[in-house]
A = this chain, B = another copy of it.
Amino acid sequence: MSDVKKVVLAYSGGLDTSVILKWLQDTYQCEVVTFTADLGQGEELEPARQKALKFGIKPEHIFIDDLREEFTRDFVFPMFRANALYEGEYLLGTSIARPLIAKRQIEIANAVNADAVSHGATGKGNDQVRFELGYYALKPGVKVVAPWREWDLLSREKLLAYAETNGIPVDMKHKNGGAPYSMDANLLHISFEGRHLEDPKAEAEESMWRWTVSPEAAPDAAEFVDLEYEKGDVVAINGVRLSPAQVLTKLNELGGKHGIGRLDLVENRYVGMKSRGCYETPGGTILLKAHRGIESITLDREVAHLKDDLMPRYASLVYNGYWWSPERKALQVLIDHTQERVNGWVRVKLYKGSVSVVSRDSKDTLFDQTIATFDDDGGAYNQADAGGFIKLNALRMRIAARKGR
């Protein structure tokens, strides 16, 4: 067991990280610094301060930050410029929050002169990887304490027993068997895993979902929303200019109201197993659809295809925790370069679980009506050119066919 003097813990204030806090103090006899972030998960953070104080954490060692704007501006929005979708479906809601938490933990570690960091992710999941790749990339000599990989509290019973023995308050929910799901939430999404969901055959229960109404319960009338883009990011909704976090908050509200953004899938974890997860990403689901809409008129075809070809790689990098890697940054440089002219507006229709683009325009449009028209185009396009175009594109196949291949 390595020698740890001062450790910065990603602390939610919940049962698990409270047990970890105590366990770190007992096991390493080290000073613990708590870090609690508001990423839009929708929970009050001040209780975390009170709990930390009760564990004897020094007031100056309790960090509570509102990171919603940084999260949206520097993590969520850059990712949506890439149209990132893991395995064709997942909007990477959990993945994208981890690098920011890691970054902030390391900043705090540097500020308070800590030699270690710790988190509450288990040894089976992706989050441990995302946290720790961030830690190591940003502070290569840091010590990492991952209690779930070290301790013997692997069953819920043992954890609860440890809590009771150590005077950590256990609320009724946990006494009654704990949350029915493992959940994670931030401004981009809320996720559900485990328990009932561990059987891919089992349908998710309606009662599980938190951020979205069921499509059946959504309003009977569709709602149309205008999104305005600058350099690939939404800067205004229905004509009202908003900050990044405000944009995402507003879209979550709209999407949630219309039952948009539920997803139930089996995904492939970086650590090698398949896992079933359910996600609610109301705002993100709208963002992806609308971003493709604005790109459809402002991006060159081959640039768009280059982005599409690179997208799965970018998404895997984010999913696997390589946000701080040089290859993600290199891809981002390319992606951001392509967004220079992704300006304009898109109108989306929200209705009972689905979002569709119905209209779009841009001063930077590459759509050329004089050429695209079915009517006489006055010579803007010479149809005869197509004959040569086809002939030369066919040439290698004609030669092959002539040679009996």
Contact = CB atoms under 8 A, between A and B. Distances in A.
Interface of A: 83, 87-89, 122-124, 128-129, 132-133, 136-141, 146, 148-150, 154-156, 182, 193-195, 198-204, 215-216, 220, 222, 262-268, 271-276, 292-293, 296-297, 300-306, 308-309, 312-313, 316, 322, 324-327, 329-331, 333-334, 337-338, 341, 347, 351-354, 356-361, 364-369, 371-376, 381-403, 405
A81 to B, nearest CB: 13
Nearest to A121: B386
Given A124-B381, A388-B385, A133 B393 contact: yes
29 contacts: A136-B394, A136-B398, A137-B401, A138-B401, A141-B402, A148-B383, A155-B375, A198-B369, A200-B365, A200-B367, A201-B359, A203-B359, A265-B296, A266-B297, A271-B386, A271-B392, A273-B381, A274-B368, A300-B326, A300-B400, A330-B334, A334-B334, A366-B405, A368-B399, A368-B402, A368-B403, A382-B388, A385-B388, A388-B391
Contact of A306 (B273, B331, B359): B331
Given A326-B397, A385-B391, 4 more contacts: A83-B88, A124-B372, A353-B356, A366-B400
Contacts of A351: 215-216, 352-353
A201 B391 CA distance: 28
A88 B292 contact: yes
B397 A325 contact: yes
Nearest to A291: B88
Contact of A195 (B368, B374, B393, B405): B374
A203 B358 contact: yes
Nearest to A260: B354
Contacts of A400: 137, 300, 326, 366
A119 to B, nearest CB: 12
A3 to B, nearest CB: 13
Given A374-B195, A388-B386, A392-B386, A361 B201 contact: yes
Contacts of A301: 268, 272, 274, 396
A398 B149 contact: no
A361 to B, nearest CB: 5
A334 B364 CA distance: 23
B326 A302 contact: yes
Nearest to A135: B394
Nearest to A368: B399
B385 A387 contact: yes
Nearest to A139: B401
A264 B357 contact: yes
Given A300-B400, A384-B149, A386-B128, A271 B395 contact: yes
Contact of A396 (B198, B272, B306, B309): B272
Contact of A88 (B148, B308, B313, B324): B308
B140 A402 contact: yes
Nearest to A204: B358
